[in-house]
A and B are shown apart, each in its own frame.
Chain A
């Protein structure tokens, strides 16, 4: 690909990468050993890789929707870059899922050709932010939880998940810092910004309960030293949110979680209408013109 002319590079004739289309990228795991650790059910590993990959993919899409809507150009770039990091993590995890599944589905098929019921992301990732305060409150909850998760995942017995965790930690540390910085700036700002930041935190933080509710697959894999039991993340999460609230002059985070669903979980493929809306946008082109290139 030539650096001088991006448009020429998009239409490179000597490779089969369909840059403009968003598919046909080289396998991000090319050359990475694919063995499944002993004593692990491959179907569990597929499901778990999809869980963490779908969290990142769906959250990335929500962030992408803020490009052209952020208050300043600098924040637009930050949000786009955070979304890109998460998209990269999703690519690695979906590729891992497809590889272990062994049914010929790569990252593109998994991202573009699954229906909502096949997605295993937490429902929190699907939330649409109604204003910038909601966006940073959403990102703070998501990044704080994911950072604690990826940090523990870096000790996984599955070398691919461990490597994805260790790499992701470096990225999500900056995501959490960005979100926390804005929550503090708005919370400890004017009367108006404080009120709006408080309303956003009070709307989103009570929904965090599902992030710590273990799915049976997570428990099985955690017992095998492969996955992270999300219940173990709660103390670190609460501690970080408490620190941010103090700096932001906001009341302490909620002591109790809202009851959001009657046991139905995003991890099982049960989602709100938000995911269907996200996928309609994300998958439209790939489904309308399968394999299209230009």
Chain B
């Protein structure tokens, strides 16, 4: 199988022989946002290869994301097809996934697919989480025409990780990956 080395998860060093397994696992498409690979999405936290096989550690995006099951299956299937005998997928919950881990390549692919990439994830200071109602501080420009002013149509779109917005200039509706 020809492996597309589409990049490694942010912060992960090239570890010699592990690179191939890393590349195979990382090149699996996100089932919900198939323009992105799992490496683009930043959910692969570790890949280890030993005589017993490959152990891939992933972190869930959202607690209830049903795509996690498909991702596990797809990672194992891709590694099998690439000739790795035994493959196991483990979970790590902490630190929790953030949209800040979506790679620059991933952001460019989202924009090219007409999906506005997330801005910087919210930072909070000490004390209770502030209540936000209505307008968020950060503007979401239209991925079609680039116009800065857009409005929210629905806070939750086809999946929990996206909202539906509309451009106030070209009037095109578009999805936006929400910052978490």
Contact = CB atoms under 8 A, between A and B. Distances in A.
Interface of A: 1, 3, 9, 12, 14-15, 17, 19, 25-26, 28-32, 74-75, 77-78, 80-82, 84-89, 91-92, 147-148, 151, 159-160, 162-164, 166-171, 173-174, 176-178, 180-181, 184, 236, 239-240, 243-244, 247
Given A17-B69, A74-B154, 19 more contacts: A12-B73, A26-B69, A28-B91, A29-B91, A31-B89, A32-B91, A32-B92, A77-B158, A86-B64, A91-B64, A164-B93, A166-B95, A167-B94, A174-B156, A174-B160, A174-B180, A177-B131, A180-B131, A244-B133
Determine chain A's interface SS by DSSP, over half rule: helix
B133 A1 contact: no
Interface of B: 29, 31, 34, 57, 60, 62-66, 68-70, 72-74, 77, 88-98, 128-129, 131-134, 153-160, 164, 178, 180
B90 A81 contact: no
A84 B155 contact: no
Contact of A177 (B90, B95, B128, B133): B133
Top 3 A-B residue pairs of the complex, sorted by shortest distance between their CB atoms = A31-B90, A88-B64, A88-B63
Determine chain B's interface SS by DSSP, over half rule: loop
A159 B94 contact: yes
A180 B133 CA distance: 7
A112 B159 CA distance: 26
B65 A88 contact: yes
A166 B73 contact: no
B63 A1 contact: no
